[in-house]
């Protein structure tokens, strides 16, 4: 494993729920299987600086006690992914526990000041987890030379989406801060709400709105990870260009899509696609119960001739994104579920990169990614530890709360310089406030 010469694991155990929990199988929904085919494990890292006045900074016993309490309401995370008698994946809620590792590392937080994904970062701080073991989530607490901590987790995307995962992190950290006095939101575990209908029915518009097939290819050259920052003033400038009342996600995605088409020099008549996961919890009728634990996202696709994106105004591109989102409703979500049931999604995580015409934007904007305070302060940074699929972008709010956002990209090395030039060129002749 990359980085093992720099990290020494000093403890490895399984943390089990602090109380008896239901012993049953939770069948995965078609949306769970879609995420499994798209991803597998999601590697995350939270970095924390040591507070000088604290003696029990990231006390391991306290963390394990809190984790055991969190695994009572989140009992599927202590289970294992298995295939049932019919070969269909489910979570066996058997209480076997979550892997918990403790390690020491001679590096410091400042050695990772760019907070950029890399295979080395994952190798250092995220526990290695094999699909064959069926682990739902594992975690590693690494104490750094500077006194800080890197908290790494491997979260199985087939079991939960980002909303559910961050709900778990909030709960674990709340039990660490407040013990038995913690007030936590109870997760909802009935996944049958997202099972296929009987009989299934696929609405004719389903495949024009959603991207329900995993299409990967091999790019002609290497890809690199890069992080760009757009300040609050720059985001406001994009919104003004587009007419004002637009979401940060839509204007930034539109701007990146246009820059990507230009940097790649796509043929004018080829079809380019912007794909992004949409949280459809509130698109259902009635909305899914608060705290639904599982995957409730599906990929929305916006397709256009490259000439229309490369030469069009941003307001037009934003309208295309908003129009696609506005069409997502209860019927189309159920129709997507029915389509996936009929298509028998391949459970193996896909490999490769997106086609050179496409870009996929994953938004964590507005999510509580920094609301993970175990009683020693919020994290200095949080990021995906590794991103190796060309064409993927993650949008993350700044940890400083200053209104800026980070664009964490996996991009072809051959177009990186030109993409960066295009990304910031729009602001060079404009005056904006940088907060």
Residue 4 predicted with pLDDT over 60: no
Please tell me the predicted confidence (pLDDT) of residue 160.
Answer: 94
Active site residue ranges: 157, 373
Residue 163 predicted with pLDDT over 90: yes
Task: Provide, rounded to the nearest whole percent, the portion of the chain with pLDDT above 90.
Answer: 79
Please tell me the predicted confidence (pLDDT) of residue 87.
Answer: 85
Residue 351 predicted with pLDDT over 90: no
Q: What is the mean pLDDT of residues 250-278?
A: 96
Scan for tokens 């099972």, then name that residue.
195
- The distance in angstroms from the start CA to the end CA of the chain is 40
* Two structure tokens written together for 284: 């259902």
In what side-by-side order are the strands of the sheet with 392-397? 223-230, 405-412, 392-397, 358-363, 271-279, 297-305
Please tell me the predicted confidence (pLDDT) of residue 431.
Answer: 42
Please tell me the predicted confidence (pLDDT) of residue 349.
Answer: 61
Helix (H, G, I), strand (E, B) or coil at 395: strand
The listed range with the strongest mean pLDDT (54-63, 64-73, 154-163, 222-231) is: 64-73
* Predicted model pTM: 0.92
Q: What is the mean pLDDT of residues 173-188?
A: 94
Residue-wise DSSP of 82-93: EE-TTS-EEEEE
* Two structure tokens written together for 235: 């985001």
Q: What is the mean pLDDT of residues 360-381?
A: 95
How far apart CA 49 and CA 57 sit, in angstroms, is 10
318 CB neighbour count, 10 Å cutoff: 24
Q: Which of 30, 23, 26 is nearest to 293 (CA)?
A: 26
Please tell me the predicted confidence (pLDDT) of residue 348.
Answer: 61
277 CB neighbour count, 10 Å cutoff: 21
Task: Provide, rounded to the nearest whole percent, the portion of the chain with pLDDT above 70.
Answer: 94
Please tell me the predicted confidence (pLDDT) of residue 345.
Answer: 62
Please tell me the predicted confidence (pLDDT) of residue 433.
Answer: 34
Q: Is residue 76 reached through a cis peptide bond, with omega within 30 degrees of 0 on the bond before it?
A: no
């Amino acid at each position: 494993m990359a980085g093992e010469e720099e990290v020494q694991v000093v403890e490895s155990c399984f943390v089990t729920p602090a109380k008896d929990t239901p012993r049953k199988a939770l069948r995965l929904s078609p949306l769970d299987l879609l995420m499994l085919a798209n991803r597998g494990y999601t590697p995350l890292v939270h970095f924390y600086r040591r507070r000088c006045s604290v003696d029990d900074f990231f006390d391991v016993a306290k963390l394990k006690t809190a984790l055991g309490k969190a695994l009572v309401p989140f009992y599927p995370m202590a289970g294992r992914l298995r295939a049932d008698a019919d070969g269909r994946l489910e979570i066996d809620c058997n209480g076997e526990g979550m892997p918990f590792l403790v390690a020491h590392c001679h590096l410091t937080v400042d050695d990772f000041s760019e907070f950029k994904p890399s295979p080395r970062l994952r190798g250092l701080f995220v526990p290695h987890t094999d699909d064959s073991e069926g682990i739902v989530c594992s975690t590693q607490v690494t104490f750094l030379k500077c006194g800080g901590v890197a908290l790494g987790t491997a979260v199985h995307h087939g079991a939960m989406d980002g909303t559910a995962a961050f709900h778990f992190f909030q709960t674990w950290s709340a039990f660490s801060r407040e013990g038995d006095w913690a007030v936590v939101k109870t997760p909802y575990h009935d996944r049958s709400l997202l099972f296929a209908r009987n009989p299934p029915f696929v609405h004719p518009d389903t495949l024009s709105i959603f991207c329900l097939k995993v299409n990967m290819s091999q790019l002609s050259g290497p890809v690199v990870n890069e992080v760009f920052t757009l300040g609050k003033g720059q985001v406001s400038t994009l919104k003004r260009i587009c007419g004002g009342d637009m979401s940060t996600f839509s204007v930034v995605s539109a701007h990146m899509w246009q820059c990507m088409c230009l940097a790649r020099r796509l043929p004018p008549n080829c079809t380019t696609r912007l794909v992004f996961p949409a949280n459809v919890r509130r698109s259902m009728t009635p909305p899914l119960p608060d705290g639904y634990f599982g995957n409730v996202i599906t990929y929305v696709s916006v397709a256009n001739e490259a000439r229309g994106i490369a030469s069009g105004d941003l307001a037009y591109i934003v309208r295309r994104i908003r129009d696609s989102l506005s069409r997502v409703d209860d019927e189309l979500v159920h129709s997507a579920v029915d389509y996936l049931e009929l298509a028998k999604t391949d459970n193996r995580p896909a490999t490769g990169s997106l086609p050179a015409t496409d870009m996929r934007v994953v938004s964590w904007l507005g999510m509580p990614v920094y609301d993970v305070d175990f009683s020693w302060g919020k994290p200095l940074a949080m990021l995906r530890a590794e991103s190796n699929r060309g064409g993927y972008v993650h949008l993350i709010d700044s940890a400083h709360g200053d209104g800026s956002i980070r664009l964490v990209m996996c991009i072809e090395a051959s177009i990186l310089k030109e993409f960066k030039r295009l990304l910031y060129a729009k602001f060079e002749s404009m005056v904006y406030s940088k907060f």
